[in-house]
């Protein structure tokens, strides 16, 4: 898979899209989005990273390769072609780095 920089929501099939979800799409998913962007930068990778809520998930994640979530939302995600990565501690960038490297490697 090739990684390329993305300047917004427009992207093509070669750019990885990562969706971070939480119940409301504001607080927790926003924190996860920012930390994911930091980890990707450290790893030298570029991806489109968006934060969303459960209600908007299927519209936002229809072209996503990865969905990041906490354990309590896994069942609510339902059927998806994306890799679902459960993040136990949104502030632990080491955990996030390890899981993203495994998924993208």
With a CB cutoff of 8 Å and minimum separation 6, the contacts of 57 are 19, 21, 67, 76, 77
Range of the domain at 31: 17-100
Residue 6, domain member (yes or no): no
How far apart, in Å, are the Cα atoms of 100 and each of 4, 10, 33? 16, 22, 13
Model confidence pLDDT, tens digit, residues 1-57: 333 333 333 344 568 999 999 876 568 899 999 999 999 999 998 899 999 999 888
Model confidence pLDDT, tens digit, residues 90-100: 999 999 999 99
Q: Residue 28 has what pLDDT?
A: 87
> Mean pLDDT across the stretch 52-72?
92
The answer to whether residues 72 and 88 touch, using CB atoms and an 8 Å cutoff, is no
Task: Read off the CATH number of the domain in which 24 is found.
Answer: 3.40.50.2300
Residue 10, domain member (yes or no): no
If one counts every other C-beta atom within 10 angstroms of the C-beta of residue 95, the result is 16
Query: How many structural domains is the chain composed of?
Result: 1
Name the residue with tokens 């570029």.
46
Q: Residue 51 has what pLDDT?
A: 94
Residue 8, domain member (yes or no): no
């Amino acid at each position: 898979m090739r990684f390329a920089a993305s300047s917004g929501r427009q992207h093509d099939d070669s750019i990885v899209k990562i969706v971070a979800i939480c119940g409301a799409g504001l607080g927790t998913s926003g924190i996860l989005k920012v930390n994911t962007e930091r980890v990707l930068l450290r790893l030298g990778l570029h991806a489109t990273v968006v934060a969303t809520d459960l209600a908007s998930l299927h519209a936002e994640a229809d072209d996503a390769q990865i969905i990041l979530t906490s354990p309590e939302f896994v069942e609510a995600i339902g059927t998806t072609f994306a890799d679902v990565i459960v993040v136990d501690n949104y502030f632990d960038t080491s955990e996030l780095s390890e899981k993203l490297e495994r998924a993208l490697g």
